[in-house]
Amino acid sequence: MSKQTKNAKSAKKAETSDAFISDESLGSGDAAYMKFEKGSNTFRIISKPIAGWVDWIEDEDENRKPVRTPLSEGEPEATDEDQKPRKFIAFAVIDRADGLVKILELTQQSIIKGIKTLSDNPVWGNPFSYDINVEKTGEKLKTKYSVTPSPKKSLSKSEIADAQERPCNLEKLMDGENPWEIEDGEATEYFFK
């Protein structure tokens, strides 16, 4: 379903609702990146990951901006002595909270290791055929994550069609460009098992 069609349907529902604030008005909107909230966070991975280093710099307006480099280039020099660059992986996912395709970037090694353990296990294999749940508990330095798979289940035809209408190019993250601005033939390949 196209974004325009979804928005038109939401507008019609909002117009006919008797509620002061409609249910459709709630939520995080059309977010491009998945962020973990406290509690259960479920998603389906639909692309192979990219991996690299991420460091943060401040621009002239003192806004923090990520700078990513491929693992093959080695660990970059830290721009801040108190915060060294961290390894990351990123992939396209379907966020089960709203059904949208988003980019999930992970630096938390406990989550990365949990997903690697599942994908290395011959019973589970690549995570294109099952959802993954990350349970987030605690706060700040006491934050903990647990990773569990859901039973294998194929994506529906409508989920596949919706995902295909929202391509991204993960490699653009390495260049500091917008991964959602796609030109012909440069989209990251999605997998729907």
**pLDDT tens-digit series, residues 8-49:** 433 433 444 455 554 544 444 458 999 999 999 999 999 999
Check residue 30 and give its pLDDT.
53
CA dihedral sign, ordered 174, 180, 185, 189: positive
Check residue 3 and give its pLDDT.
41
79 has a pLDDT exceeding 90: no
Which tokens is 193 given?
Answer: 């098992």
Average per-residue pLDDT for the chain: 86
**pLDDT tens-digit series, residues 97-108:** 999 999 999 999
Contacts of residues 1-5 at CB distance under 8 Å and 24 or more positions apart, as own/partner, are 1/158, 1/161, 1/162, 1/165, 2/165, 3/30, 3/165
What does the pLDDT average to over 82-89? 90
**pLDDT tens-digit series, residues 126-158:** 999 999 999 999 998 899 999 999 999 999 999
Find the length of the chain.
193
Please give the backbone phi and psi of residue 175, each rounded to the nearest 5 degrees, phi first: -100, 5
- The span from the CA of 5 to the CA of 179, in Å, is 23
Give SS3 for 70: strand
